């Protein structure tokens, strides 16, 4: 009877456990009893998996320029420093101080350059800047090397060789200061600032000249406390930076966009800064004001609406140029070496190539990336009267191959 009672209690306990598990939804786990065979338990080892690989960010590299590189990638120009160097459709157009009244053109298959234009009048002694496309060559000319007196603009039709004077402020002797110009197709956009005698008010004017039709009009004008300062151009917009009439570096300096489609200013972005650059679909500008050396450049892509910053190296960076893949500039006294240098920075991944001249007597000028080449002027002995200019063009592929990671460069012996 006692044994029967024990079996009954065990049976009731099992029933209660089953009812509890059914209500709670918990699975029933029955105890496992060892078998008489006691087989050895097998441990399943995890199969080895390859570790993920990540592409290392590209390193900044350095190329120490040498006489051998000059021999391989440069051609002789005229004597003196460059006041302008422009590449267009396979040809180089330059003006150098040894012949400051003339424009020379250099073609890849010709051993020497050809003079294609010079100032029409004797008082135009210094061609300061060029703008070139397939149809037109525009020359900004001063009558004094310090730009303290008058200026004029002359235009050469490259197809007909007809040269004309477009604007003349030498003879007019008005207090109109030239600031900037941009050429696109048949249109020349010309920026000046007029100071009225006896008045603190200044007038900024952007004129539009149709070179094919010989017409002109005032595109924009402003007499506010901010004056137009510099321009950049693309197929769709004219980008305009401003500067204050005073010299306050902390002043708010909004950058404007003039639409060629709507023919008016448009509020595309709320940005400020200086040194506007455009290469469609990209725009670039310095975050610093016009009275400061750039420290950071912002890049904006109109197609993707993405924007990102680039850090500018150098103590006195200048001669900035923007292409679709690179921002380039020079610094006459790069701080880590005290030698003039050319900087080329990729817009894709931010890596930088520095070309170090390794000599205070070699001065690079007007760097630009065109046709997959880094192009720049290089002046030897630029402090002396015997200075000689070269036009250098090194393919980007060769530049990347020849340059070395900065950490691997052995410092030169003093």
268 compared with 23, residue with greater pLDDT: 268
36 compared with 260, residue with greater pLDDT: 260
Return the pLDDT at 302.
95
Band of pLDDT at residue 290, cut at 50, 70 and 90: confident
Residue spans of alpha helices (H) in 301-407: 396-402
141 neighbors 127 (Cβ within 8 angstroms): yes
| Strand, helix or coil for residue 154 | strand
User: Does pLDDT of 247 surpass 70?
Assistant: no
Mean pLDDT of 65-92: 95
d(CA 129, CA 99): 14
Return the pLDDT at 122.
85
Q: Which residues lie below 8 Å from residue 153, measured CB to CB, with a gap of 6+?
A: 138, 139, 140, 141, 165, 166, 167, 168, 181, 188, 190
Digit-coded pLDDT (tens) for 4-39: 445 544 444 544 444 444 444 444 444 444 444 454
Return the pLDDT at 31.
42
173 neighbors 162 (Cβ within 8 angstroms): no
d(CA 63, CA 327): 17
Digit-coded pLDDT (tens) for 90-125: 999 999 999 999 999 999 888 889 999 999 988 888
User: Does pLDDT of 222 surpass 90?
Assistant: no
Mean pLDDT of 60-66: 95
Q: Which residues lie below 8 Å from residue 373, measured CB to CB, with a gap of 6+?
A: 393, 394, 395, 396
Sequence length of the chain is 414
């Amino acid at each position: 009877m006692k044994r029967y009672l024990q079996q009954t209690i065990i049976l009731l306990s099992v029933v209660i456990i089953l009812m509890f598990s059914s209500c709670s939804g918990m699975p029933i786990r029955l105890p496992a009893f060892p078998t008489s065979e006691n087989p050895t338990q097998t441990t399943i080892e995890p199969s080895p998996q390859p570790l993920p690989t990540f592409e290392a960010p590209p390193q900044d590299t350095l190329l120490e320029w040498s006489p051998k590189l000059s021999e391989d990638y440069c051609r002789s120009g005229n004597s003196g420093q460059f006041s302008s160097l422009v590449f267009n459709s396979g040809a180089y157009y330059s003006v150098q101080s040894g012949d400051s009244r003339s424009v020379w053109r250099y073609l890849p298959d010709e051993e020497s350059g050809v003079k294609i234009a010079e100032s029409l009048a004797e008082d135009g002694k210094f061609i300061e800047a060029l703008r070139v496309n397939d149809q037109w060559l525009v020359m900004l000319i001063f009558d004094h090397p310090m730009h303290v007196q008058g200026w004029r603009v002359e235009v050469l039709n490259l197809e007909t060789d007809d040269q004309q004077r477009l604007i003349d402020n030498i003879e007019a002797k008005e207090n109109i200061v030239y600031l900037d110009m941009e050429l696109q197709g048949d249109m020349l956009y010309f920026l000046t600032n007029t100071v009225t005698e006896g008045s603190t008010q200044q007038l900024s004017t952007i004129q539009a000249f149709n070179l094919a039709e010989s017409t002109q009009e005032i595109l924009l004008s402003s007499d506010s406390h901010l004056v137009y300062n510099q321009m950049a151009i693309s197929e769709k917009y004219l980008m305009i930076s401003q500067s204050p009439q005073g010299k306050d570096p902390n002043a708010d300096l909004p950058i404007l966009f003039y639409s060629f489609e709507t023919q008016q200013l448009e509020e595309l972005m709320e940005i400020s800064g200086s040194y506007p650059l455009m290469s469609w679909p990209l725009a670039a500008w310095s975050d610093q004001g016009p009275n400061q050396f750039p420290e950071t450049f912002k890049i904006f892509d109109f197609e993707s609406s993405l924007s990102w910053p680039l850090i500018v190296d150098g103590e006195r960076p200048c001669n900035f140029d923007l292409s679709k893949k690179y921002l380039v500039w020079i610094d006459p006294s790069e701080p880590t070496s005290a030698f003039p240098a050319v900087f080329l920075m990729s817009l894709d991944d931010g890596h930088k190539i520095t070309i170090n001249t390794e000599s205070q007597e070699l001065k690079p000028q007007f760097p630009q990336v065109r046709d997959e080449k880094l192009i720049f002027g290089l002046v030897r002995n630029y402090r002396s009267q015997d200075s000689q200019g070269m036009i250098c063009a090194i393919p980007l592929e060769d530049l990347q191959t020849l340059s070395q990671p900065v950490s691997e460069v052995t410092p030169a012996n003093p």
